[in-house]
Amino acid sequence: MSSVGSPPAFRRPASSVRRATVGALVASLAGGLLAVLPAATAQAAPTLLSQGKTATASSTEGAAFAASAAVDGNLTGTRWASQWTDAQWVQVDLGQSATLSRALLTWEGAYGKSYEIQASENGTEWRTVTTVTGGDGGTDDVTLSGTGRYVRMNGLTRGTGYGYSLWEFQVYGSTDGGGPTLPGGGDLGPNVHVIDPSTPNIQAKLDQVFREQESAQFGAGRHAFLLKPGTYNNLNAQIGFYTQIAGLGLRPGDTTINGDVTVDAGWFNGNATQNFWRGAEGLTLNPVNGTNRWAVSQASSFRRMHVKGGLNLAPNGYGWASGGYIADSKIDGQVGNYSQQQWYTRDSSIGGWSNSVWNQTFSGVEGAPATSFPEPRYTTLDTTPISREKPYLYLDGNEYKVFAPAKRVNARGTSWANGTPQGESVPLSRFYVVKPGATAATINQALAQGLHLLFTPGVYHVDQTINVNRANTIVLGLGLATIIPDNGVTAMKVADVDGVRLAGFLIDAGPVNSPTLLELGPQNSGADHAANPTTVQDVYIRIGGAGAGKATTSVVVNSDDAIIDHTWVWRADHGEGWGWETNRADYGVRVNGDDVLATGLFVEHFNKYDVEWYGERGRTIFYQNEKAYDAPNQAAIQNGTTKGYAAYRVDDSVNTHEAWGLGSYCNYNVDPTIVQDHGFKAPVKPNVKFHSLLVVSLGGMGHYNHVINDTGASTIPAGTSTVPSTVVNFP
C-alpha cells in the first residue's frame, strides 16, 4: 500500500483541535525543561518557597478571597478568587531571588484554561517562564526553569464563566544560589572584527580573511566584520564562506561603503552554484563601476542593503548560479539576474529586473516585474502577508544593542523607507555572549536566567538540547555560528511560547543520528501566536558535507503561526561524509502547526520527503528543491506504488493551503534511469491552491512523469535540454 498520505505517528488529529490536559503538556515538556538547569543548580532538593509569603492579586471576588489565601497552606479550606473577567493574576514575593523548579496550582471549580507562569526580580519587569494551554482544572504540576524573586500566575483565558480561583499556589525551588550567575554583555569574541573609518589596514584585513575563507567550503573558520557608522572609501570587501559583513547603524544609511561587497566564483572556475553560507546586512554601497556583484547560491542573505547602482547576481563570465535571497533592501538600478536559476526577493525596492531562467519570485517588492509565469518565469505578489525582519546588532552611541523589528502585515517596500524602523531595542547586557568553548549546560543556564543568546562566530558542540522556553527570547548568530549536536541529541527546541526569534546560525548534524535537529513547539502545541509569532531567519541546516552526519527529520514546526523566512535545509551531495546511507536523512521539514508561513524555503536532497505539511492554512512563497542525486536505483526511492517521494507534499487531511513559485529539480547521476511520478503531491480540494509550479530534469539525469499529482507534462520529451515542465495553477 502506498505511504503517500500516511501521517507520521505523532501527527495531531485532523480536526486541528489541539487541546491537551496540562498533565500531558507537562509530560511533553518535562524532558526539555528539566534539562535546562545546569548540574550545579540541582545540588539542593527543591523546597516549598511560597507558603506564608506576601501575595497580591489583580482583583478579588471579595474580602474572603484575598491573595494571601492562595499561599497559606490551607489546601482546601481557603482560596483566592478573582473578579469574573479574563486577564487576572496572583503573585507571591518569595523574599529573595530563587532558582525555580516547579509550581503546583490547585484549582477550585473556576480554573484557568490558559495562563502563564511569570518570574521577575523586581515585581515590575516580568518574563514568561512557561505557558499552559488547554488546562482542564484540578491540579496542575508545572515544571519551571530560571530564577526570580516574584512569581505569578497570569491568567489569560478562564475555563468557566466565573473568575480564577486557586485553593493554593505553591512555588518550589532553592535559594542556595546554585552556582554563580552568568553575566550578560561583554566583548564579542576573537572572530568579530569591529572596525571604524579610522581603523588602519581595513582592506588588508578583509583580504586576509577572504584568502582563508574563499574556498573553505567545509572549514571551521567563522568571521563577522562589523562596521561602525561612518563612510568607508575605496573598499572591496570580498566575502567568502562563513563570513558576514554588516553595518552597526540602526539604518542602512548610517554606514556607507564607497566601494563594493563582492561575491564571485573564481575559486570554482566561474561556477557560483556552491557559493553558500555568507551574508551582507545593513550597508549602503556606492559601487565603483556602478554595479555590485553578488553571485551567490543557497544560504546567502542580502538584507537591509541599499545599493546606489545596480546589482549583478551572476559570476564573472556568467557561469551557473543557483541562489538566492534579498529582503528589506533597495537597489536603485537594475538587478541583473542573468544566470541565476531561481531567486526570491521580499519587501524591497528595485529599479528593474533582467532575465528569468526558471523561477524568480517576488513579494512586496516595489519595481518587481508583473506575474508572467510560465514565460518569463516571474511570480509576483503585491505584498507579503506577514513579515518581521531579522534582528540585528547595532551601536547606540557606544552601547551595543540588538534591534528586534516589528511585525508587518501586507508589507511592501523596505521597513526603513521612512526613516527609523519600528521595533524594540534590547541592550547587549541582556544577552549571554556565547564564545567558542561554551557548553550546552552553560548556554541553558543563561537561558534559564532570562538572558537572550548572541552566538559569536565559531563552532559549538552541544551534548544536550538547547532549550528556549521563554517568550520573546532572541537567539542571534554572527558569522554563521555553527551548532553541532553530539550523541544524537536534538540541537535546539523552542517551547510553544510567543515571539521567539532564531536568526543567523547553522545547525550541522553530528555522526550519531538525531531524531530532529530543530523543533518549534512540542507535539500538539496549540497556543495562538498570531499577534507575536516565532520567526526563523537565515537559520540553515546541514547533514553531511563537513563529515558524516545523520538526522531523521531536520526541522519540525509544531507551533502555530510560525514564520520561516529564508532557510536552506540541505542533505549534502558533495564534500565529506555523504552517501545514500552515510548521511541518511529521510525528511527535511515537517509542518504540523496551523497558519505557518514560509517565505524563501530551500530544501534539498532528502532520502524521502523534503517537505511535508500537515497544518491548516499553511502558505509558502517561493520553494526551491533538488531531489537526492545519490539514489542508487529506482527501488531505493519506491514509495509503495508511487515512484519517488514528492519534493513537497500536503497531507490528504489538509483543507486549506496555498503556495506560489515552487520548483523541484532532479539530477539522478548515480542512476539516470530513475523516474519520479511527480514533484508535488496535494489533495484536490477547492482551498488547496498552487501557483507557478515547475519541475526540471538536469541534463536528462532522471525525469518526472508529472508536475503535481497527475497534472503537468513529463520532462522525458525534453531529453537533456533542461526545459522545465510547468503548471500555472492547480487545481
Please state, in angstroms and rounded to a whole number, the distance separating the CA atoms of residues 566 and 560: 18
Type of residue at 255: T
CA distances from 229 to 422, 488, 555 (A): 19, 43, 37
Q: Does the annotation count 626 as an active-site position?
A: yes
Residue 250 CA to residue 227 CA, distance in Å, equals: 12
Compute how many other C-beta atoms are within 10 angstroms of the C-beta atom of residue 256.
22
Q: Give the rounded distance of the alpha carbon of 206 from its chain centre.
A: 29
- Three-state DSSP class for 722? coil
What is 75-135 written as a DSSP string?
TTT--EE--SSSS-EEEEEEEEEEEEEEEEEEE-SS-EEEEEEEEESSSSS-EEEEEE-S-
> Which string of DSSP letters, residue by residue, matches 605-632?
--SS-SEEE-STTEEEEEEEEE--TT--
Residues 443/274, Cβ–Cβ less than 8 Å: no
Query: If you search the block for the grid coordinates 531579522, which residue do you land on?
Result: 390
The gap between the terminal CA atoms of the chain, to the nearest Å, is: 25
Residue 681 pairs with which residues in a beta bridge? 649
Q: How far is CA 518 from CA 466, 540, 552, in A?
A: 10, 10, 11
* Helix/strand/coil percentages in the chain, nearest 5: 10, 45, 50
- Report the 10 Å Cβ neighbour count for 69: 22
Q: How far apart are CA 430 and CA 183, in angstroms?
A: 9
Helix (H) or strand (E) holding 304: none
Scored b (16 or more CB within 10 A) or e, 216-253 reads bbbeebbbbbbbbbbebeebebbbbbbbbbbbbbbbbb
Cell 466565573 belongs to which residue?
Answer: 162
214: phi then psi, degrees, rounded to nearest 5: -55, -45
Residues 6+ apart with CB under 8 A from 303: 279, 280, 281, 282, 326, 327, 328, 329, 389, 390, 538
Q: How many helices (DSSP H) and strands (DSSP E) are in the chain?
A: 3, 56
Q: Which H or E run includes 678?
A: strand 675-681
Active-site residue list:
626
